[in-house]
């Protein structure tokens, strides 16, 4: 399986008045053609920063991509000129956001906003744009697309707005779709519909998807592989089935425990004690050590490197064993 996008050693830092925040540190991964890769982690784990960094959307200042290489269609995206990266954005790599209400411009109609993409990248004439917008809205399952196209974002329901944003993202048939918490702001029923839609469109157009989420349920339903991030670093990676069946990193196990709501009915909700360490007071050793049930002395002194505990299963933990525990 050839990779659509390969990321090596990506580091993104934010300079603040309190010090440097290492939002993403030494992250490497690759997404294969037609594959859905999920990045999971708590708030502050750096997962959204990864999504922004791939398209160089990290606000600078204060953010800066300090190291890394992102190979996409035989180019290093981090080396491209501003004009060249704009040709990638929206055309080859599209992005959908968490809150469609905030991500759509309130003063323009749906048609105008979807039309922007077609005009910017395909240079379509206005009459072609109108027809194409209706076609795209139909594709994402918006009923009465002709009427909807003339409406404003505030006229639409949350699910409809998300569909509009997906239509916008698909306008140029991108090779990679980055979905940054695409369902977090939606009702559970609408969530399922939107996920189904992304799945079916992905299959239809052969896109790869990078899914950023904190919701392991979403991961289980849609992703092929998953990266678990903690405090800016990848702590574990593997196929979704392997990760769910046999998590090797204590943090991953904690996340899965916390997500088991149904099985622990009547009991207290399991949680991981403590919170993500402050970015200004990172522990000396493993950043998860203060919260880790399995931590021993070495964990507090030394940062564990990623190592393969099984083929395709890198884990950053001294306690992780080659075989299942």
74-103: which residues touch another protein (CB under 8 A)? 83, 85-91, 94-95, 97-99, 102-103
Q: Quick one: which of 6, 116, 215, 257 contacts another protein (CB under 8 A)? A: 116
188 binds another protein (CB under 8 A): no
Give me the sign of the Cα torsion angle 197, 200, 206, 211: positive
Residue in this structure with the two tokens 């997500």, named with its chain if needed: 259
Shortest distance (Å) from residue 94 CB to another protein: 7
Stretch binding another protein (CB under 8 A), from 37-45, 117-125, 198-206, 249-257: 117-125
Size of the site for another protein (CB under 8 A): 30
Shortest distance (Å) from residue 119 CB to another protein: 10
121 binds another protein (CB under 8 A): yes
Helices (DSSP H) in the chain: which residue ranges?
47-54, 82-88, 100-103, 110-117, 126-139, 145-149, 158-170, 188-205, 216-222, 240-245, 250-259, 297-301
Tokens of 214: 């904190």
Q: Could you give the CA distance from residue 114 to residue 156 in angstroms, rounded to a whole number?
A: 15
143-182: which residues touch another protein (CB under 8 A)? 165, 168
Tokens of 321: 């064993």
C-beta closer to another protein: residue 31 or 51:
51
Q: Quick one: which of 57, 239, 303, 310 contacts another protein (CB under 8 A)? A: 57
Helices (DSSP H) in 80-238: which residue ranges?
82-88, 100-103, 110-117, 126-139, 145-149, 158-170, 188-205, 216-222
69 binds another protein (CB under 8 A): no
Q: Which residues contribute to the site for another protein (CB under 8 A)?
A: 55, 57, 59, 61, 83, 85-91, 94-95, 97-99, 102-108, 116-117, 120-121, 165, 168
């Amino acid at each position: 399986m050839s990779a659509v996008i390969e990321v090596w050693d990506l580091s993104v830092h934010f300079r603040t008045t309190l010090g440097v925040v290492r939002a993403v540190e030494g992250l490497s991964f690759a997404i294969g053609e037609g594959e859905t890769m999920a990045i999971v982690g708590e708030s502050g784990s750096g997962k959204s920063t990864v999504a922004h960094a791939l398209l160089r959307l990290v606000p600078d200042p204060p953010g800066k991509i300090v190291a890394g290489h992102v190979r996409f269609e035989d180019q290093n995206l981090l080396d491209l000129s501003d004009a060249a990266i704009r040709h990638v954005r929206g055309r080859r790599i599209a992005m959908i956001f968490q809150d469609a209400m905030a991500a759509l411009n309130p003063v323009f109609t749906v048609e105008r906003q979807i039309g922007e993409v077609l005009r910017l990248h395909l240079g379509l004439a206005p009459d072609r744009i109108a027809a194409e917008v209706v076609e795209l809205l139909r594709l994402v399952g918006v009923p009465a697309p002709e009427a909807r196209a003339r409406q404003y974002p505030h006229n639409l329901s949350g699910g409809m707005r998300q569909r509009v944003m997906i239509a916008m993202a698909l306008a140029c048939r991108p090779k990679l779709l980055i979905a940054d918490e695409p369902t977090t702001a939606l009702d559970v029923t609408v969530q399922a519909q939107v996920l189904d839609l992304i799945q079916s469109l992905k299959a239809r157009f052969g896109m790869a998807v990078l899914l950023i989420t904190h919701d392991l349920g979403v991961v289980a339903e849609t992703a092929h592989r998953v990266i678990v991030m903690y405090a800016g670093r990848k702590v574990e990676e593997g196929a979704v089935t392997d990760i769910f069946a046999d998590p090797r990193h204590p943090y991953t196990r904690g996340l899965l425990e916390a997500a088991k709501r149904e099985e622990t009915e009547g009991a207290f909700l399991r949680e991981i004690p403590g919170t993500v360490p402050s970015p200004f007071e990172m522990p000396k050793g493993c950043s998860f050590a203060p919260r880790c049930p399995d931590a021993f002395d070495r964990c507090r002194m030394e940062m564990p490197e990623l190592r393969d505990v099984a083929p395709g299963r890198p884990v950053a933990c001294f306690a992780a064993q080659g075989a299942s525990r």
